Amino acid sequence: MTDLLPFLVIGLTTGSVYGLAAMGLVLTYKTSGIFNFAHGAIAALAAYAFYEVKVVRGLPWPVALLVAVVVLPPLVAMLMERVTRALAGATTTMKIVATIGIQLIITGALLAHYGAAGLTFPAFLPADTIELFGVYVGIDQLVSACVAALGALGFFVFFTFSPLGVRMRAVVDDPDLLSLAGTSPFAVRSWAWLIGSHFAAISGVLLAPLIGLDALLLTLLVVQAYGAAAVGLFASLPMTYAGGLLIGVLAALATNVVSGSVVLSGLPPAMPFLVLFAVLLLAGKRRLVDIGATRPTPPQPPLLGPRTARIVALVVIGIGIAVPFLVGAKLPVYANALVFVLIFSSLQLLVRTSGQVSLAHAGLVAVGAATFSHLAVGAGLPWLVAVLLAGAVAVPVGALVAIPAIRLSGLFLALATFGFGLLLENVVYRTGLLFGASGSLPAPRPDGLGGDLPFYYVLLGFAVAGVLLVAAVGRSRLGRLLRAMADSPTSLATLGLGVNVTRVTVFGISAFLAGVAGALYASQGHSATGTPFTSFTSLTWLTVLVLCGAARSAAPLAAAIVFAVLPAYGGGEADGSSGWMPVLFGVGALLVALHESSARRGRSHVSAEWPTGSRAAERIGSPGRAAARERVAHRDVDSAVRVRVGAAGGAR
């Protein structure tokens, strides 16, 4: 027990900061209905702002602190409030895409500007240690923990007793009623965003000394935060703080258990995901209700008629066949792009056809890549068999995360897949199950077709087959069911189990395609590695696909070109997940999300020219006792008008 005490203390100190961050996340989610995937990115931004002022500009640390936690958060909050307002009535998918876009903008910019390697964060609190319950604790850690705890407590008191806090709770209950009582829900939400951004910024500055200045790591603070939020069922603030402590302690204890094991070293960071996953599994549908859930928009009609579309498709395939003779040495770029056509098709199937968001897609592709190598090299299976089996293996892996989450709202699927992607990346990639400790496996090409040119045509074949498969799913009974789900929320309710089975089936098909794409990617590059398939990549893919949404069913092709071809002609980036590209994609996806939600609101606006039902309804010209009155002849009244049972009956 005494051995564990130090870990317990460390766990509580970091957990306290997680708790504070999580409270900010839950507050903004509860009041606005928007789950902010960029919460951790805001924390990272604050930490980097501190670094910029203190280290780069050389100003004293109080100034840096002022900039990071006083000046910056209101700016962020203002942006978030505007975005929230513009997202009113948007689909769950677009709400998720919008904040992921913001996350990508912030994280991408930090990575592009400061580089991916971690920087040393300047310690600004005294690093001496004091003895506490027989354990030596750094004063800085103690101060962090206390600041976070005081912030959490102070906020709880404010939220419970102050007039503004009361209104924040009221906006959660019923924003319309609050506005009828003379308080603008938007104003209240602005305050919530302000507090939420402050909490994110403070936790970023407090955590950076502990985990170093690493944009990706800090961004993933949102994961600790949503693990904690899950403990509070995304609603209770005190439970959320407690959840933060729990996750801090679990992660610290896990560190103790796995110390010495390289393979398991990823377990502590995966803790929050395991907690989230447990909550999703255990908590019922009733207790995990997405506050911001709206029904999906039915898929848009295709841009072209079926005949024209077929001709265009043939022309595109023709161009695909001609590409090797046009692009010279850039052929590998186009071969890669064909793999991405497959990847984006599988993502399209989820996002556009069935309105689900997967943020573990890169993970599934990686699973396909590694499995392929194990099967083709390890087990010596024929190339094609190994490719198809790699796809098949990705299906149960995808189902593992999809099944518990899919019965809940789309938000929880996004959260679960995001966490799952991180788990794969941090824990499983380095194990023998996937890429092993060396991180790289050999990957063969098919016998006789191993040259760049013949293999290009193999990939073209797969890409065309994949696109056809996705189109066939869209047109099948499954596709019709999905459209029916989007059209009518009641059918969604009455179909019951059928809906979940449908969703899991679609998720499975999508995972299969992702796995096959992984195998092909590895084969094309002669080796299978997890490096190109991080969670950050998953986010980037999603934004690129959404960005190309205007191309409708050709979006996967457009996305593949944007992601894999354009960078090769631009600044020499490897692909769309490096350099400043993610920032651009983030901006684009955010704009698309905002545009789609305003278009959706526009559709729901009723035009005045709507055909009026030729009732003999007469306007009243003037008020008062001398008003012109019109008594409508009863022949004009259909018998169809019924009255509520209690209406007349109640008036005894």
Stretch in the footprint of other proteins (CB under 8 A) among 42-50, 218-226, 450-458, 644-652? 644-652
Spatial distance between the Cα atoms of 189 and 167, rounded to a whole number of angstroms? 10
286 binds other proteins (CB under 8 A): no
Spatial distance between the Cα atoms of 70 and 589, rounded to a whole number of angstroms? 29
Task: Give the nearer residue to other proteins in terms of CB position, either 449 or 627.
Answer: 627
CB of 605 to other proteins, least distance (A): 6
Task: Give the nearer residue to other proteins in terms of CB position, either 27 or 44.
Answer: 27
Task: Give the nearer residue to other proteins in terms of CB position, either 129 or 491.
Answer: 491
Task: Give the nearer residue to other proteins in terms of CB position, either 14 or 597.
Answer: 597
Task: Give the nearer residue to other proteins in terms of CB position, either 305 or 650.
Answer: 650
134 binds other proteins (CB under 8 A): no
CB of 24 to other proteins, least distance (A): 20
* CB contact set of 542 (below 8 Å; sequence gap of 6+): 97, 100, 347, 351, 357, 358, 359, 361, 589
CB of 23 to other proteins, least distance (A): 18
Q: What are phi and psi of 304, to 5 degrees?
A: -115, 155
Per-residue binding letters, 537-576, with other proteins (x by CB under 8 A): ----------------------------------------
CB of 640 to other proteins, least distance (A): 9
Residues 578-607 that bind other proteins (CB under 8 A): 603-607
329 binds other proteins (CB under 8 A): no
Task: Give the nearer residue to other proteins in terms of CB position, either 170 or 381.
Answer: 170
b/e sequence 94-127, b meaning 16+ C-beta within 10 Å: bbbbbbbbbbbbbbbbbbbebeeebbebeebbee
Spatial distance between the Cα atoms of 346 and 340, rounded to a whole number of angstroms? 10
Question: How many beta carbons lie within 10 A of that of residue 157, not counting itself?
Answer: 11
CB of 600 to other proteins, least distance (A): 9
CB of 603 to other proteins, least distance (A): 7
505 binds other proteins (CB under 8 A): no
Q: CA quadruple 267, 539, 116, 61: dihedral positive or negative?
A: negative
| C-alpha distances in Å from residue 530, one per residue of 107, 134, 430, 574, 586 | 20, 43, 9, 15, 23
Residues in the chain: 652
Stretch in the footprint of other proteins (CB under 8 A) among 12-20, 417-425, 491-499, 612-620? 612-620
Task: Give the nearer residue to other proteins in terms of CB position, either 164 or 217.
Answer: 164
CB of 276 to other proteins, least distance (A): 25
Task: Give the nearer residue to other proteins in terms of CB position, either 174 or 452.
Answer: 174
CB of 5 to other proteins, least distance (A): 39
Q: Report how many residues bind other proteins under the rule CB under 8 A.
A: 56
Spatial distance between the Cα atoms of 69 and 208, rounded to a whole number of angstroms? 13
First to last CA, the chain: 73
Point out which residues pair with 441 in neighbouring strands: 528
Spatial distance between the Cα atoms of 590 and 539, rounded to a whole number of angstroms? 12
CB of 296 to other proteins, least distance (A): 14
Element (H, E) at 529: strand 527-529
Task: Give the nearer residue to other proteins in terms of CB position, either 6 or 238.
Answer: 238
Residue type for 356, please? Q
The residue among 508, 514, 523 whose CA lies nearest residue 541 is 514
Task: Give the nearer residue to other proteins in terms of CB position, either 452 or 630.
Answer: 630
Helices (H), 212-263: 215-219, 221-231, 237-258
Residue type for 363, please? G
Spatial distance between the Cα atoms of 571 and 547, rounded to a whole number of angstroms? 20
Helix (H, G, I), strand (E, B) or coil at 80: helix
Question: How many beta carbons lie within 10 A of that of residue 135, not counting itself?
Answer: 15
497 binds other proteins (CB under 8 A): no
Per-residue binding letters, 138-167, with other proteins (x by CB under 8 A): -------------------------x--xx
644 binds other proteins (CB under 8 A): yes
CB of 31 to other proteins, least distance (A): 13
652 binds other proteins (CB under 8 A): yes
Under a CB-based contact definition with an 8 Å cutoff, are residues 370 and 529 in contact?
no
Residues 164-203 that bind other proteins (CB under 8 A): 166-167, 169-170, 172-174, 176-185
Task: Give the nearer residue to other proteins in terms of CB position, either 169 or 330.
Answer: 169
Task: Give the nearer residue to other proteins in terms of CB position, either 286 or 625.
Answer: 625
CB of 183 to other proteins, least distance (A): 6
Spatial distance between the Cα atoms of 589 and 544, rounded to a whole number of angstroms? 7
Spatial distance between the Cα atoms of 540 and 522, rounded to a whole number of angstroms? 20
Task: Give the nearer residue to other proteins in terms of CB position, either 117 or 180.
Answer: 180
Under a CB-based contact definition with an 8 Å cutoff, are residues 534 and 363 in contact?
no
Task: Give the nearer residue to other proteins in terms of CB position, either 437 or 606.
Answer: 606
Q: What DSSP state is assigned to residue 376? A: I
Task: Give the nearer residue to other proteins in terms of CB position, either 235 or 381.
Answer: 235
610 binds other proteins (CB under 8 A): yes
646 binds other proteins (CB under 8 A): yes
Question: How many beta carbons lie within 10 A of that of residue 614, not counting itself?
Answer: 7
256 binds other proteins (CB under 8 A): no
The residue among 299, 237, 318, 321 whose CA lies nearest residue 31 is 237
The residue among 183, 206, 195 whose CA lies nearest residue 155 is 195
CB of 619 to other proteins, least distance (A): 5
Residues 613-642 that bind other proteins (CB under 8 A): 613, 615-620, 622-625, 627, 629-632, 634, 637, 639, 641-642
Instruction: Say what angle helices 237-258 and 5-32 make with each other, to 10 degrees.
Output: 140
Spatial distance between the Cα atoms of 450 and 220, rounded to a whole number of angstroms? 40
Point out which residues pair with 135 in neighbouring strands: 132
CB of 225 to other proteins, least distance (A): 23
CB of 34 to other proteins, least distance (A): 20
CB of 479 to other proteins, least distance (A): 23
Under a CB-based contact definition with an 8 Å cutoff, are residues 443 and 375 in contact?
no
Give the pairing of strands 135-138 and 129-132.
antiparallel
Under a CB-based contact definition with an 8 Å cutoff, are residues 336 and 567 in contact?
no
452 binds other proteins (CB under 8 A): no
Binding site for other proteins (CB under 8 A): 163, 166-167, 169-170, 172-174, 176-185, 603-608, 610, 612-613, 615-620, 622-625, 627, 629-632, 634, 637, 639, 641-644, 646-652
